Chain A
């Protein structure tokens, strides 16, 4: 053990002695580009501000795997804090895997946007992301302004859409439903499904791999849909090849929530981390780094205009309300319709 680490451990031990606190918080969230940026913008500054607490980042590729891990560790949890998709967090809550998250955990709860607090979920929004239009700047010379660009016949065989059950496909269905004059998704999705049937012949792949951003950056596909935060990061790395637009008709949110695992071994240290992650300054910093919109209303004024304009934070009123827990109840039906009526119409 290095002397520095030793000194730190001793200091941590001294600080936490008698308080029954563990000094390591295990945080689980998405691996890859999310991990890279979250470490930089949140975890590392947290450890500097709280030298007595060590945060271990345990990355997993998707929320399903996180839920599976929580289930497997139910009797002896090894993860303290989890960041995952809100609808999966609902299942975790129902199975008693998340401890209640209220003002006793973090005082920032009252400052969160209403969308960040979902009834029946023991976790609160930590990032907002939204569906955007992606295009290859060589193949699409006029910057598209509307979702309708996907239906443009000149992009036949060039459109990349992650199909349902991926929630990017679900979000597109809800948006298409509105484009086609449908009201709320709860009144049925017929107009949207009919509209997507017209889109099908344009589609190159319903299963873009490794993700939707890479084939559009490289020009394998011309236009498609994806999540804003990742799109913005990849756009910066694409040498100007990947264009990102939040269309005029608005978009829908995907919500990642942060939750305290039931019987988390880290105890109060885990609560300290959750409080930190939801604070306006930290929310603002993560938006500057990865372009997720903040969930804390007090964060927006702290973010530069340049970063704000690349998130949905400046266009909260344009966001189509989507209650993901309601959508979960109709998701099987949407999937069935896609598979029977929409996907077979593509080449």
Chain B
């Protein structure tokens, strides 16, 4: 036995460090080929020049970037994308928080049943769910009908920013609920009970105990929803009626319809920069929470 171990040891020609590198190499390679190279390509396109009719001139120019910053339409588009995504994230958070909290506190079969209910929308594609919303919110749909039946004039709910807001919020809620639940791990019912026994009102208990303990979940959910909202394209395209200009829809138009790949690449890199900023903000929030 001892001889066998000694033999294995003497045969070991690689250090732990080398083994780790060897094991990481395949995934690193896949990432370089499948992720880094395309991103690099995208970045390179953003410094090329678009020619009339969809051609690409292989030069090195800052035109796309300076044009973007000088054009008020694109500045508005960028700000629009950010505030709509923040707004949708906030709506999703407010609507999802109570659901997630209730799910966290429930137990047994009931909890399983409710969790399945929360996840079930994810089993259908966003396209199908968006078409569902179009049927519900359109001028001849039940919502407008109900508002009209009580003698009120409803605001247009479809093919404008209202539709995009409603649709995106609902579509992102399951992600928010799941992220919140994942972050609720530290929330122990005993802590709440202790706070209440020591004389905290329900509001004080929520404000001073529950909220701080669930903050990591909130931060995670907001990061996830914000990133998904900025990059979401199907729902704004289908529900915005061509009136709501966002980064993701503009990238589609420039890449597929106008064939201006350099501009589409510039906007895509910009979205990546916004994601980076969101990640930095998230890390800062996490650090403060710790």
**Chain A residue with the shortest CB-CB distance to B135:** A220
Q: Which of A95, A166, A205 contacts B55 (CB 8 A)?
A: A95
Taken together as a complex, chains A and B put the C-alpha atoms of A165 and B255 apart, in Å, by: 11
Q: Is the CB of B243 within 8 A of A206?
A: yes
Check: B185 CB closer than 8 A to any chain A CB: no
CB distance from A313 to the nearest CB of B (A): 27
Bound-state CA distance A87–B259 (Å) is: 10
Known: A94-B51, A206-B241. A335 touches B258 (CB 8 A): yes
Which residue of A is nearest B255, CB measured?
A: A64
A157 and B241 CA atoms in complex are apart in Å by 12
B157 to chain A, nearest CB (A): 11
A91-B54, A94-B55, A325-B53 are known contacts. Are A165 and B138 too (CB-CB below 8 A)?
no
- Is B242 touching A205 in the complex (CB atoms < 8 A)? yes
Determine the chain A residues whose CB is within 8 A of the CB of B73 once the complex forms: 336, 339-340
What chain B residues lie within 8 Å of A94 (beta carbons)? 51, 53, 55
Contact B241 A328 (CB under 8 A): no
Min C-beta distance of A334 to chain B, whole Å:
11
Contacts of B51 in A (CB 8 A): 91, 94
A204 to B242, CA, bound (A): 10
B230-248: contact bitstring with A at CB < 8 Å (1 yes, 0 no)? 0000000110111101000
> How big is the B interface, by class?
20 to 34
Is B258 a contact partner of A67 (Cβ separation < 8 A)? no
Distance in Å: Cβ of B116 to nearest Cβ of chain A: 30
Looking at the assembled complex, report how far the CB atom of B31 sits from the nearest CB atom of chain A, in whole angstroms: 21
Cα A5 to Cα B257 with chains together (Å): 41
Q: Tell me which residues across on chain A come within 8 A of B54, comparing CB atoms.
A: 64, 67, 87-88, 90-91
A205 to B159, CA, bound (A): 6
A204 to B51, CA, bound (A): 33
B193 at the interface (CB under 8 A from A): no
Question: In angstroms, how far is the closest chain B Cβ from the Cβ of A171?
Answer: 14
Could you mark each residue 154-174 of chain B with 1 if its beta carbon is under 8 Å from any beta carbon of chain A, else 0?
001001100000000000000
Question: Are B52 and A346 in touch, CB under 8 angstroms?
Answer: no
List B contacts of A62 (CB < 8 A).
256
In the complex, per-residue mask of A202-239: 1 if CB is within 8 Å of any chain B CB, else 0: 00111101000000000010000000000000000000
A64-B256, A220-B138 are contacts. A328–B53 as well, Cβ < 8 Å? yes
Task: Evaluate whether A207 and B256 lie within 8 angstroms (CB atoms) in the complex, with A157-B139, A339-B73, A343-B242 already known.
Answer: no
Contact B55 A347 (CB under 8 A): no
CB neighbours (8 Å) of B259 from chain A are 64, 67, 88, 91
Q: List 9 A-B contacts (CB under 8 A).
A: A64-B54, A88-B53, A90-B54, A91-B55, A94-B51, A204-B241, A206-B241, A209-B238, A328-B53
A65 within 8 A of B: yes
Q: Look across to chain A and name the residue whose beta carbon is closest to the beta carbon of B259.
A: A64
Given contacts A87-B54, A88-B54, A95-B55, 14 further A-B contacts (CB under 8 A): A62-B256, A64-B255, A64-B259, A90-B54, A91-B53, A91-B259, A94-B51, A165-B253, A165-B257, A328-B52, A335-B258, A340-B73, A343-B242, A346-B243
A204 touches B159 (CB 8 A): yes
A329 beta carbon closer than 8 Å to chain B: yes
Q: A298 at the A/B interface (Cβ < 8 Å)?
A: no
| Most A-side CB within 10 Å, residue of B53, B156, B237, B245 | B53
Residues from chain B with a CB closer than 8 A to the CB of A325 are: 53
B130 (CB) vs chain A CBs: closest residue? A209
Which residues of chain B in 228-282 are interfacial with respect to chain A, using CB atoms and an 8 Å cutoff? 237-238, 240-243, 245, 253, 255-259
User: Given contacts A165-B253, A220-B138, A336-B73, are A329 and B258 in contact (CB under 8 A)?
Assistant: no
Contacts of A329 in B (CB 8 A): 52
Q: Mark A157-193, 1 if CB is under 8 A from B, else 0.
A: 1000001011000000000000000000000000000
- List 5 A-B pairs, minimum CB-CB distance, nearest first: A206-B242, A207-B242, A91-B54, A205-B241, A328-B53
Q: Which of B53, B159, B241 contacts A87 (CB 8 A)?
A: B53
Return chain A residues, CB-CB under 8 Å to B255: 64
Is A331 on the interface with B (CB-CB < 8 A)?
yes
CB neighbours of B243 from chain A (8 A): 206, 343-344, 346
* B residues near A336, Cβ cutoff 8 Å: 73
Least Cβ distance of A336 to chain B in Å? 7
Residues in chain A near residue B138, CB distance under 8 A:
220
A343 to B242 alpha-carbon distance, docked (Å)? 8
Roughly how many angstroms separate A166 CA and B253 CA in the complex, as a whole number?
9
* Cβ < 8 Å to A, chain B residues 137-158: 138-140, 156
